[in-house]
Amino acid sequence: MQLQDILYSQGFGSRRVCAGLVQHGLVEVLGHEPDTPAQQCLDAAAEFEPKGLRFCVQGVKWPYKEKAYVMLHKPAGTECSQKPSTYPSIYTLLPAPLRQRPTKSAVQGVQAVGRLDQDTTGMLLLSDDGQFIHRMSSPKKHVPKVYEVVVKHDLTSDQVGRLLSGVVLDDDPKPVKASACQQIDTRCLHLTLTEGKYHQVKRMLAAVGNRVEELHRSRIGGLSLPADLAPGQWCWLEEADLVALQAGNLSAV
């Protein structure tokens, strides 16, 4: 695969822009092995095996990824929208190549797997793999998501019981229930859901007579948010992470 096409597939601009980056000496090829010395390449048509290739563009190291799978620690005060209405978009926290990756759809770049409210923090997955996005967000797949919830009033055993047995939300006559609910202290619980209805956690707590004060998503499937990934930071998901996500998929059991 030509180097200009590799760069294009990774979101570094049009093929003409990518060819220009190479011809102006702004691209170094690091090879496939970690200890391979960087080599400047001035030939945009030079052929490389893309799988496992690492390169450096304008001083920034980048691995070739046929499909992009990333995790973002979403901070409060951000919206999961390309066109936010009030708060900054979570997409501004990602580097330009992730936002510009060419896709078959009309929308470029990675897309969020579901959404979190502007004041909700925690684990957010993004990808340019449409099948992965559907598999992780479809309610039919029953992918468990764990939320750490701080509420306004002291929790009661009756409230916890109702969250587990099911509550009726105003737009759906079918009761929704948590697949697990662990009370941590008087005003904190860990709630596990396998659906993704609009404002679901907040509405479920309101339905049992309480109110969400803080909401944080700490796990999706079998994958937890790393302790060292600070709010606003992102990281690549590796093969082991993707396996962990599927390991927590209840429909696969």
How far apart CA 36 and CA 209 sit, in angstroms, is 60
Select which of 5, 35, 117, 129 is catalytic: 117
Active-site residue, 117 included: yes
How far apart CA 127 and CA 110 sit, in angstroms, is 5
**Other C-beta atoms within 10 Å of 140: how many?**
10
For the annotated catalytic residues, the residue numbers are 117
